[in-house]
Amino acid sequence: MTENSAAEWDDTILPFQLDRADMRGRVARLDTCLGEILAQHGYPPEIEALVAEAVLLTALIGQTIKLRWKLSLQIRGDGPARLIATDYFAPEREGAPARIRGWASFDETRLEAGAEPFSQIGKGYFAVLIDQGEGTTPYSGLTPIAGRSLADCAAAYFARSEQLPTRFALSLGRSAMPGRGETWRAGGIMLQHIPKASPQAKGIEPSGPGGLYAAEDALDAEAAESWNRTGHLLASVEEFELIGPTISPTALLYRLFHEEAPRVFDAQRVQFGCSCSREKVVQSLSIYSDRDIGHMTTEEGVVTADCQFCGAHYRFDPGELGFEAAERAAARADG
């Protein structure tokens, strides 16, 4: 990728480190993959914006997980926007693209047209889930919906669950590109302080609400100064710089943090991708009896299932579904 072709950075996540400030972070640019995710559904603008922000956060946070792991965000609320769910599938091998997907469930009758999107979530929680693969116990951590954006919720999650001071700068929306028409674009920076020791190890008493550690508990005086300084630098970023495409992530990092000795690593490409399959649907229905499967059978004599993420439509013969069907198949194989 070259500085002179900033559009080549679309659908990438660039990890970086600020050596003089003990900070690490990621710069993400999403274009085609975000458009493909949103194109699966005809969301109202308020829901579309929430899904776009959640997908961007998922890309920024997900790039840290190991190969073949999966990171998910779930945002649940009691407002019109009931659920926003996203998944980041880490690459199967080094150099391969990561995959990302997202969808939302909402009550259109309660949705306020033209309202600030975040206000449509209401009270609820922001959850991060990490699946390391078969034979492992998935990790989950959550924090209440708070602040003024999903980015605020993500920062609160890291503060409360990881004791990691974290900041986000995000920009997203529809933009018109020459020769392409109007498309969705999103860009953002995630910045985290690298702790030298946990607050517990340093014998620091928690200062957060409810006896929890706050992110600032991990900072000594020198680290706090660096954190405040880089925060001011990050706050100077313009929305058009985050989205691009006229400035590359490397040029942006130099513009913002050149005095902090920025160091970049290999960029991770990301694309829209879904993990659904006929086999997974059959497995998910294996807990049901023949009677349950009968209730799911349509007048046409088939069982149907749709993937919420990609819209794939599956049709099954009822006789091949449920645990009793699996038992019959096993008996035939043995006999």
Q: Is residue 20 part of a domain?
A: yes
| 290 in the same domain as 242 | no
Whole-angstrom distance, CA of residue 260 vs CA of residue 243? 23
Q: Are residues 268 and 295 in the same domain?
A: no
- Supply the CATH number for residue 59's domain: 3.55.30.10
Task: Indicate if the pLDDT at residue 224 is higher than 90.
Answer: no
Do 250 and 312 share a domain, yes or no?
A: no
187 & 234 share domain? yes
CATH number where 313 lies: 3.90.1280
Residue by residue, DSSP assigns 215-263 as GGGG--HHHHHHHHHHHHHHHT--HHHHH-SSS-HHHHHHHHHGGG-EE
Per the domain annotation, does 159 fall within a domain? yes
Domain end position, chosen among 225, 255, 272: 272
pTM of the model: 0.85
Note whether 205 and 284 are same-domain residues.
Answer: no
pLDDT tens-digit series, residues 129-185: 999 988 888 899 999 999 999 999 999 999 888 888 999 999 998 876 666 667 889
Residues 326 and 230 both lie in one domain: no
Per the structure, how many domains does the chain have? 2
Of the candidates 272, 296, 326, which is a domain's last residue? 272
Quote the CA–CA distance of 253 and 256 in Å, as a whole number.
Answer: 5
* 295 and 172 co-located in one domain: no
Domain range for 323 is 278-334
Q: What percent of the chain has pLDDT over 70?
A: 88
> H or E stretch including 161?
none
Gap between the Cα atoms of 23 and 252, Å rounded: 16
